[in-house]
Amino acid sequence: MELVKPGIGLLFWMTITFSIVLYLLSKFAWKPILKSLREREDSINNALNSAEDARKLMSALKSDNEKLLQEARIERDKMLKEASDMKDSIIAQAKRSADEEGRKLIANAKESIEREKLNAMNQLKTQVAELSVDMAEKILRKKMDDRSQQEAFVNDNLKSISAN
Amino acid sequence: MAHSNKKIFKYLIPTFLIILYIGYASLKIANATIDEQHHSDSTSVQHESTIKVVEEEIHEELEHIEHEAHASKEKLNAGKLIMEHIADAYDWHIATVGQTHVSIPLPVIIKDDDGLKIFLSSRFHHGHKAYKGYKLEEGHIVAVNTDGTINHEASFYDLSITKNVAAMFIAVFLLCFIMFTVAGSYKKNGIAAPKGIQSFVEPLIIFIRDEVAKPSIGSKYEKFLPYLLTIFFFIFINNMFGLIPFFPGGANVTGNIAVTMILAIFTFAITSINGNVGYWKHIFMPPGVPGWLLPLMIPIEIIGMFNKPIVLTIRLFANITAGHIIILGFFSLIFIFAEMNAGLGFGVSVFSVAFTTFMSFLELLVAFLQAYVFTLLSSLYFGMAVEEHHSSEHH
């Protein structure tokens, strides 16, 4: 029973001591300690947050870079494609114009050949005509001693010329 | 190098003061004995009444010695020994060398109708002498009549600095010293990483804040945090001091019901003062209870309200006292067996020491655990007091 009877003296001193300790520690120990702890935690949190922000910024930059690179790549591809298209079209055009030119040249050549041929034919014809006239004159001179023969001959020649 | 030397001095000074006080106290005891001898030498030149008084004193002293001698021969009473160790005392017993008790006398303060009476407990001569109308009887101060009989009617308040009070003073002095040092280094270091004793205290503070106060109280925890930290460290340091078997430990502060009762009353008072409308409504108008049950429920709620501090009081008191009793019981075993046979005593001592070592480790855990439990329950009660009750959830 002795143990569970609180002594008045101890109750008295305990109340006083504990009140004083509570006051002193609250004012001079817990307040600054808790304040510093909170400040430290805040600063750690801030540091972590800013690190996170920096990380986000970095990744944003990286993705931006990626996008730029992608765009550049697309641009390059487009340019290459355009260039190759242009090349193709130029070649095709060149081919077309060369063909045309060739055809034109050929046509010109054919025309001049035709003309030359016609000229040559005409010349040949005149020469042949002169020759044949000459020959005919010679033959006629020899044969046309009599009138009947002359007439028969002229008629024959006329016939053959008109047949030609 | 110089810095660390300075630090050592900081800790050495209180230690040195304590040692000085022990030295002073033991010197005083020695002086008292010499004084008495001196008195008996000079009796021839003084008048008869003095001789008579001195003779009586000597007679008493002789009786005392005889009694002590007799006591040392009588069978060991383990129960009495244990109770003496865990109970409060008016002097701080350090050691017994032969027949001499080396103890620190503590101040006795008595408030009665005549006013305050302050003197050292050594005046009582371990209960063999009355002083200023008071006497030490069975470890308690009682008023005595002029003829030496105990006066049971006398009303007085015994406000003595007993062993528990002194031990508590030392503990709180150390606690304040540690915490002020820590607070100082926080002020000095700012938000830098903790150093030295800061590193020991900081996890405990954060533990109380984050694991005890925040979850059980909620958003209003900051208001109660200083109190919770104070009771936690107060109980913890006193528990730890209680585990030291000799001066400046050895007292059973947190195993004393007066101490735990005051702590519980503080918790109760803070709970009641901070109790919001919801808290009181829960006690006097329990929501969701049918009207005919109210005459039963309200007394139960009121008993429950007072039950909480009583439970707090008894849990801490019983846990710490039980630990002390077990350790003392193991040690008593040695002497009980040694009375039968000296060899048996030595044999048992091996097991007793082993078990006591084990118990001491357990007590270290209990010292922390009980401080934690007391703090946790207090914060739970605060949490109940400030909790926002939503009427909708009851219907």
pLDDT tens-digit series, residues A38-88: 888 899 999 999 999 999 999 999 999 999 999 999 999 999 999 999 999
- pLDDT at residue B18 above 90? no
Q: Tokens in use for B224?
A: 């109660």
pLDDT digits (tens, 9 = 90+) for B97-126: 777 778 888 888 888 887 888 888 877 777
Tell me the three-class secondary structure of B114-179, residue by residue.
CEEEEEEHHHHCCCCCCECCEEEECCEEEEECCCCCECCCCCCEECCCCHHHHHHHHHHHHHHHHH
Please tell me the least confidently modeled range out of A85-94, A109-118, B240-249, B250-259: B240-249
Residues from chain B contacting residue A15 (CB–CB below 8 Å):
262
| pLDDT of B394 over the 50 cut | no
Dihedral over Cα of A30, A36, A40, A45: its sign: positive
d(CA A60, CA A68): 12
Min distance A55 CA to chain B CA atoms (Å) = 25
**B342 has pLDDT over 70:** yes
Query: What pLDDT is recorded for position B69?
Result: 47
Beta-bridge partner residues of B95 = B102
pLDDT at B395: 39
Cis peptide before B295 (omega within 30 of 0): no
Say which of A3, A17, A43 has its CB closest to residue B168. Answer: A17
pLDDT exceeds 70 at position B346? yes
**pLDDT tier, B41 (very low <50, low <70, confident <90, very high otherwise):** very low
pLDDT digits (tens, 9 = 90+) for B130-184: 777 787 777 778 888 777 777 777 788 888 888 889 999 999 999 999 999 999 8
The Cα–Cα gap between B347 and B350 comes to 6
Q: Does residue B282 have a pLDDT over 90?
A: no
The minimum CA-CA distance between B180 and chain A, rounded to whole Å, is 6
Query: Which pLDDT score, from 0 to 100, does residue B43 have?
Result: 43
Instruction: Give contacts of B182 with chain A, Cβ < 8 Å.
Output: 29, 33
Q: Does B234 touch chain A (CB under 8 A)?
A: yes
Residue B46 pLDDT grade (very low, low, confident, very high; cuts 50, 70, 90): very low
Task: Provide the greatest CA pair distance for chain A.
Answer: 197
Looking at residue A157, its pLDDT comes to 79
Place B40 in a pLDDT band, splitting at 50, 70 and 90: very low
CB contact under 8 A, B159 and A13: yes
**Angle subtended at Cα B165 by Cα B159 and Cα B166, rounded to the nearest 5 degrees:** 120
Residue B155 tokens read as 């009303």
Percent of chain B having pLDDT more than 90?
Answer: 25
State residue B8's pLDDT score.
Answer: 61
pTM confidence score: 0.69
ipTM of the modeled complex: 0.75
| pLDDT score recorded for residue A130 | 87
Chain A contact probe: residue of B86, B155, B191 with most A CBs at under 10 A: B191
CB pair distance less than 8 Å for A14 and B168: yes
Q: How far apart are the first and last CA of chain A?
A: 171
- Residue of chain B minimizing CA distance to A14: B259
Residue B186 in contact with partner chain A when CB distance is under 8 A? yes
What the block records as the tokens of A39 is 């400040």
Closest partner residue to B179 among A8, A18, A25, by Cβ?
A: A25
* Interchain CB distance below 8 Å, B225 and A18: no
| B177-219 residue pLDDT tens | 999 999 988 888 877 788 888 888 999 999 999 999 999 998 8
Tens digits of residue pLDDT in B61-74: 555 554 544 444 45
How do residues A101-160 score in pLDDT, each as one tens digit? Answer: 999 999 999 999 999 889 988 988 888 888 888 887 887 777 667 777 777 877 887 888
Span between the terminal Cα atoms of chain B, in Å: 70
Report the mean per-residue pLDDT for chain A: 88
For B181, phi then psi, to 5°, come to -60, -45
B103 vs A98: CA distance, rounded Å: 130
A81-85, A150-154, B227-231, B391-395: least confidently modelled range: B391-395
- Work out the number of other CB atoms within 10 angstroms of the CB of residue B61: 16
* DSSP assignments along A40-100, one per residue: HHHHHHHHHHHHHHHHHHHHHHHHHHHHHHHHHHHHHHHHHHHHHHHHHHHHHHHHHHHHH
CA distance A50 to chain B (A): 18
* CB within 8 Å: A36 and B180: no
